């Protein structure tokens, strides 16, 4: 494994996911945005596979699983964004690595106390960021969609490192899955202005093809739990994007909650790095 290349993949995930915030500017539903995300990967890799003759093979069981969970996570994430915005959706999505940790505990695998404490702290931070105590500000449909995205993304993390196929093959099949899901909303695809089309193409290419490849580069060169921890940088990347492009900000208590989450993840990341050096 090449750690530097894996970290480059993580940085690519942060950058590409930041464009998710721009989806608030488009009059598209979550299912239509899912179609948009899958199309770029399917077209480009499909053409590439045709020219190379045979680069795409039938998916193995874990590739089928990660395709399913990635599709569900994408649809749920976009639905959440359309209901209550990118910032709050991103905060919950980034706790997805909690799922593989719970699965590890169920398999009776050793999970260090530092990991458990760090994620308990991260959940506390998310509680502040979401203002759980202020029920009137919570849109429960958005919360439910974001929870679905979090759980599905957690299962994707669980299976992404286990799939046997090449990065291009996994990217292709995920794109197929997203296009199949998104095709149900194609019949009502609205007319977009020229500026909206430019935004749509940027979102499709960045969160689709580029994001898929960055994800698999990260999983190929880092442990799955490392990837799950490090992608928590998606939260500040989306918040920064929302600030600059949507002029959105968060309250001081919410920023405090995000800071707690990121600090806990930083501590956990240092622990995992030290653990890796000792093995």
120-148 mean pLDDT: 82
Q: Shortest CA distance to 88 belongs to which of 39, 42, 134? A: 134
Compute and round to an integer the Cα radius of gyration of the chain: 18
Angle at which helices 252-277 and 234-246 cross, to 10°: 150
Sign, Cα dihedral of 39, 42, 43, 45:
positive
Once rounded to an integer, what is the mean pLDDT over residues 173-178? 94
What whole-number distance in Å separates Cα of residue 191 and Cα of residue 211? Answer: 26
pLDDT in the model for residue 279 = 55
pLDDT higher than 60, residue 203:
yes
Which is nearest to 87 in space by CA: 210, 202, 243? 243
Question: What is the mean pLDDT of the segment spanning 23-44?
Answer: 92
Task: Please state the rounded mean pLDDT for residues 119-140.
Answer: 77
pLDDT of residue 276: 58
8 Å CB contact between 208 and 39: yes
Mean pLDDT score, 12-25: 94
Candidate from 67-81, 93-107, 143-157, 188-202 with smallest mean pLDDT: 93-107
70 vs 226: which has the higher pLDDT:
70
pLDDT confidence of residue 48: 80
Q: What's the distance, CA 89 to chain centroid?
A: 10
User: For the residues 200-224, what does the mean pLDDT come to?
Assistant: 90
- CB atoms closer than 10 angstroms to residue 65: 18
- Output the pLDDT for position 1: 63
Stretch 212-219: mean pLDDT, rounded? 90
- State the average pLDDT for the chain: 85
pLDDT digits (tens, 9 = 90+) for 62-113: 999 999 999 999 999 999 999 988 888 888 887 787 888 788 778 877 767 7
How far is Cα 69 from Cα 170, in angstroms, rounded to an integer?
13
Between CA 63 and CA 45 the distance in angstroms is 16
The reported pLDDT for the residue numbered 114 is 75
pLDDT in tens, 233-255: 888 888 889 888 998 887 888 88
pTM summary value: 0.85
SS3 string, the chain, reads CCHHHHHHHHHHHHHHHHHHHHHHHCCCCHHHHHHHHHHHHHHHHHHHHHHHCCCCCCCCHHHHHHHHHHHHHHHHHHHHHHHHCHHHHHHHHCCCCHHHHHHHHHCCCCCCHHHHHHHHHHHHHHHHHHCCCCHHHCCHHHHHHHHHHHHHHHHHHHHHCCCCCCHHHHHHHHHHHHHHHHHHHHHHCCCCCHHHHHHHHHHHHHHHHHHHHHHHHHHHHCCHHHHHHHHHHHHHHHHHHHHHHHCCCCCHHHHHHHHHHHHHHHHHHHHHHHHHHCC
pLDDT at 272: 64
């Amino acid at each position: 494994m090449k750690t530097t290349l894996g970290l480059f993949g993580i940085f690519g995930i942060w950058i590409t996911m930041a464009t998710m915030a721009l989806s608030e500017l488009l009059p598209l539903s979550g299912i239509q945005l899912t179609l948009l995300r899958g199309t770029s990967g399917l077209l480009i890799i499909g053409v590439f596979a045709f020219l190379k003759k045979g680069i795409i093979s039938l998916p193995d069981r874990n590739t089928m699983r990660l395709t399913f969970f990635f599709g569900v996570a994408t649809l749920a994430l976009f639905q959440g964004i359309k209901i209550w915005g990118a910032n709050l959706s991103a905060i919950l999505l980034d706790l997805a690595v909690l799922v593989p940790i719970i699965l590890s505990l169920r398999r009776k695998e050793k999970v260090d106390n530092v990991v458990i404490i760090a994620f308990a702290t991260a959940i506390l931070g998310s509680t502040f960021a979401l203002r759980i105590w202020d029920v009137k500000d919570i849109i429960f449909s958005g919360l439910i969609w974001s929870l679905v995205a979090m759980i599905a993304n957690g299962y994707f993390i669980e299976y992404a490192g286990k799939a046997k196929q090449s990065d291009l093959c996994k990217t292709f099949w995920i794109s197929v899955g997203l296009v199949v899901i998104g095709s149900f909303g194609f019949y009502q695809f609205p007319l977009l202005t020229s500026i909206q089309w430019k935004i749509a193409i940027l979102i499709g290419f960045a969160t689709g093809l580029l994001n898929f490849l960055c994800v698999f580069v990260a999983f190929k060169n880092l442990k799955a739990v490392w990837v799950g921890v490090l992608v928590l940088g998606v939260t500040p990347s989306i918040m920064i994007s929302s600030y600059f492009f949507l002029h959105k900000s968060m309250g001081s208590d919410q920023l405090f909650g995000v800071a707690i989450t990121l600090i806990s993840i930083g501590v956990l990341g240092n622990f995992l790095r030290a653990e890796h050096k000792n093995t």
